[in-house]
């Protein structure tokens, strides 16, 4: 199929999905995934996306994550990490052990069990954050808890991929230097982003930094002011892409880098002579949000839906395994993440439950691990592969549904907390 025809069909689906989402009051992400799956299974869209579409989808997820980071407050994110370590730890251990146990019961193969556990460890943060965005909850404390926990989960999952995949394939054993190297890369990347945000981007530097050539005299505000701010959107998108590429070189998904790029950009950087901060910032944000959530970003989710190709014979054969694994992960993920949020992060009950629901999704890293284990190394059997695919699909479907259903309780509890806080002497 011609890639432009494929894109036209996907955009039609995005439009229809957006209309249905507005009519049913459900997040559009659910409809994006469903449309992609429907189109590929009735033969309208190909099961293997054209490289152009895959690249378009990759740009989409980078834009989405940058847009979400662009809205976030840096201090809130840093504070969120301090509260979210328990969510990340327990919210990853519980699904790993659950998937491992279910796989060991059905297939009795240690390597398969390891790969199943690894597949179901990392949270699909982009799916959750877009779902929260569609409900106006992207700036809530729960959203920050989900985002920071998911980023920490990604770091841990990447380390586990590097360590466990060679073990499962028989190519290597656990090596302390290899683990140290992985952790060192993570520290270098996130430490470098922190230094960039603290020392290089601010316009008005003090101390010894003020004496550094160029850096001491010019900041990001000067770049954003080029052409009286007409190129500010191009500037921030270039910045997001560069940081995303650096993240990729360090072994992370480029979307993680894009989120961090948005996180360290501040509204105050858009304040320069001849333009007001508010108008320049709002114009840039409007363009970024439109691209991320209306016409480029949704292609990522439609393309993700096309990965769910139903083979009815295999589908019927793996119904018991899929049901047990899905229910087990559903219970284990919500319970572990919500309890950790409540007792290690000190979130309220309604925030803790929202965090538990938000950690259900499985997407980017899960499919990467499945590709490594099934396509590249033949560790997984066809039956196991389809079980994991269907489980990931239903968990992804559960995210927008559970978040939408919980939102009324979340709003009532948040309003009650605000009233109680306002009436305190």
Q: What is the CA radius of gyration of the chain?
A: 22
What tokens were used for 369? 């691990």
The answer to whether residue 363 sits within a structural domain is yes
What are the CA-CA distances from residue 361 to residues 95, 196, 294 (Å)?
12, 31, 21
What tokens were used for 35? 């449309």
Q: Are 270 and 232 in contact (CB under 8 A)?
A: yes
**Main-chain dihedrals φ then ψ at residue 272, nearest 5 degrees:** -150, 165
Q: Return the top range by mean pLDDT from 13-27, 91-105, 411-425.
A: 91-105
Structural domain range at position 350:
72-295+313-423
Q: What is the pLDDT averaged over residues 348-353?
A: 90
In whole angstroms, what is the distance from residue 325 CA to residue 240 CA? 37
The answer to whether residue 23 sits within a structural domain is no
In whole angstroms, what is the distance from residue 383 CA to residue 379 CA? 12
Name the domain count of the chain: 1
The residue behind tokens 């001849």 is 274
The answer to whether residue 151 sits within a structural domain is yes
What's the CA dihedral at 233, 236, 237, 239 to 10 degrees?
160
Q: What is the CATH number of the domain that holds 395?
A: 1.20.1530.20
**Main-chain dihedrals φ then ψ at residue 296, nearest 5 degrees:** -100, -50
* Residues pairing with 275 in the sheet: 272
The answer to whether residue 76 sits within a structural domain is yes
**What is residue 213's DSSP assignment?**
T
pTM over 0.95: no
The answer to whether residue 300 sits within a structural domain is no
The answer to whether residue 56 sits within a structural domain is no
Using a pLDDT cut of 70, give the percent of the chain over it: 84
The answer to whether residue 304 sits within a structural domain is no
| Dihedral class, residue 379 (left if φ above 0, else alpha if ψ from -120 to 50, else beta) | alpha
The answer to whether residue 77 sits within a structural domain is yes
Residue 217: predicted pLDDT: 62
pLDDT category at 203 given cuts 50, 70, 90 is: low
What tokens were used for 200? 């290089």
């Amino acid at each position: 199929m011609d890639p432009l025809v494929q894109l036209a069909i996907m955009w039609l689906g995005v439009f229809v999905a957006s209309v249905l989402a507005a009519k049913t009051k459900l997040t559009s992400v659910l409809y994006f995934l469903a449309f992609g799956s429907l189109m590929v299974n009735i033969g309208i869209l190909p099961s293997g996306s054209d490289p152009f579409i895959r690249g378009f989808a990759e740009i989409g997820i980078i834009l989405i994550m940058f847009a979400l980071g662009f809205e976030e407050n840096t201090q809130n994110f840093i504070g969120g990490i301090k509260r979210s370590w328990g969510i990340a730890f327990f919210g990853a251990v519980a699904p790993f052990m659950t998937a491992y146990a279910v796989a060991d019961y059905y297939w009795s193969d240690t390597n398969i069990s390891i790969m199943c556990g690894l597949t179901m460890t990392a949270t699909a943060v982009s799916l959750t954050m877009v779902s929260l965005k569609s409900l106006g909850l992207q700036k809530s404390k729960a959203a920050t808890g989900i985002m920071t926990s998911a980023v920490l989960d990604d770091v841990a999952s990447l380390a586990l991929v590097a360590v466990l995949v060679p073990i499962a394939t028989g190519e290597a054993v656990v090596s302390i230097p290899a683990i140290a190297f992985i952790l060192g890369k993570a520290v270098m990347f996130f430490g470098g982003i922190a230094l960039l945000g603290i020392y290089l981007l601010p316009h008005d530097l003090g101390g010894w930094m003020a004496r550094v050539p160029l850096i001491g005299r010019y900041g990001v505000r000067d770049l954003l002011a080029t052409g009286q701010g007409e190129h500010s959107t191009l500037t921030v998108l270039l910045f997001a892409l560069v940081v995303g590429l650096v993240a990729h070189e360090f072994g992370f998904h480029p979307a993680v880098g894009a989120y961090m790029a948005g996180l360290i950009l501040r509204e105050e950087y858009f304040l320069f002579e001849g333009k007001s901060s508010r108008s320049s910032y709002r114009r840039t944000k409007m363009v970024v949000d439109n691209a991320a959530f209306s016409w480029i970003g949704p292609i990522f989710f439609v393309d993700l839906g096309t990965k769910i190709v139903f083979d009815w014979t295999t589908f019927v054969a793996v119904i018991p395994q899929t049901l047990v694994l899905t229910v087990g992960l559903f219970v284990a993920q919500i319970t572990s993440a919500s309890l950790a949020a409540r007792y290690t992060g000190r979130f309220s009950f309604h925030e803790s439950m929202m965090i538990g629901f938000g950690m259900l999704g499985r997407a980017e890293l899960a499919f990467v691990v499945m590709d490594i284990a099934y396509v590249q190394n033949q560790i997984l059997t066809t039956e196991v592969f389809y079980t994991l695919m269907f489980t990931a699909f239903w968990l992804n479907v559960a995210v927008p549904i559970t978040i939408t259903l919980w939102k009324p309780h979340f709003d009532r509890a948040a309003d009650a907390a605000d009233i109680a806080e306002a009436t305190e002497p």
